[in-house]
Amino acid sequence: MKKLLFCTVISAMLFLLALPAVVSSQAEQDMAKQKEFRIERSISEAGVACIQCHKQEHPGIFGDWANSRHANANITCIDCHKAEQTDPDVSKEHFQQYEKTDSQWGRKQYRVPVAGVVTPKDCSRCHPDEAEQYKRSKHANTLEIIWKIDPWLNKGMNSDFERASGCFYCHGTVLETDEEGNLTPETWPNVGVGRMNLDGSKGSCSSCHTRHRFSVMEARKPQACGQCHLGPDHPQIEIYTESKHGAIYDSFGDEYNWDAAPGTWSPGVDYRAPTCASCHMSGAGSTRTTHDVTERLSWEIQAPLTVRPSDFKAFPAKTNWEVERKKMKEICLQCHGNNWVDDHYATFDKVVEEYNEVYFKPARDLMNELYEKGLVDDEKMFDEKIEVEYYELWHHEGRRARMGAAMMAPDYTWWHGFYEVKHRYNSFMKKGRELIEHNKKAEKAPDFPNATGRTTRPEAIFGSQ
Q: Where are the alpha helices (DSSP H) in 167-293?
A: 168-171, 216-220, 222-226, 236-242, 244-252, 276-280
pLDDT score of 97: 77
pLDDT score of 101: 66
Min mean pLDDT across 34-38, 119-123, 274-278, 414-418 is at: 34-38
The confidence band for 7, taking pLDDT boundaries of 50, 70 and 90, is low
The confidence band for 96, taking pLDDT boundaries of 50, 70 and 90, is confident
Query: Could you tell me if 314 and 145 are in contact, meaning their C-beta atoms sit under 8 angstroms apart?
Result: yes
Q: What are 148-196's pLDDT values in tens digits?
A: 999 999 999 999 999 999 999 999 999 999 988 889 999 999 999 999 9
Checking if the pLDDT of 372 tops 90, the result is yes
**Averaged pLDDT for residues 2-14:** 52
The confidence band for 134, taking pLDDT boundaries of 50, 70 and 90, is very high
Q: How far is the C-alpha of 53 from the C-alpha of 56, rounded, in Å?
A: 5
The confidence band for 99, taking pLDDT boundaries of 50, 70 and 90, is confident
**Averaged pLDDT for residues 394-404:** 98
**Mean pLDDT, all residues of the chain:** 91
Task: Fill in the amino acid letter for 68.
Answer: S
**Averaged pLDDT for residues 261-276:** 95
pLDDT score of 17: 52
**Averaged pLDDT for residues 101-110:** 79
Checking if the pLDDT of 30 tops 60, the result is no
From the list 114, 92, 125, the residue with the least C-alpha distance to 46 is 114
**Averaged pLDDT for residues 55-82:** 93
Q: Residue 183 pairs with which residues in a beta bridge?
A: 177
- DSSP secondary structure, 51-107, as one string: HHHHHHH-HHHHHHHHTSHHHHTT--HHHHHB--TT-TTB-HHHHGGGG-SS-TT--
Q: Residue 90 pairs with which residues in a beta bridge?
A: 115
Q: What are 331-351's pLDDT values in tens digits?
A: 999 999 999 999 999 999 999
Checking if the pLDDT of 76 tops 80, the result is yes
Per-state percent for the chain, helix, strand, coil, to nearest 5: 55, 5, 45
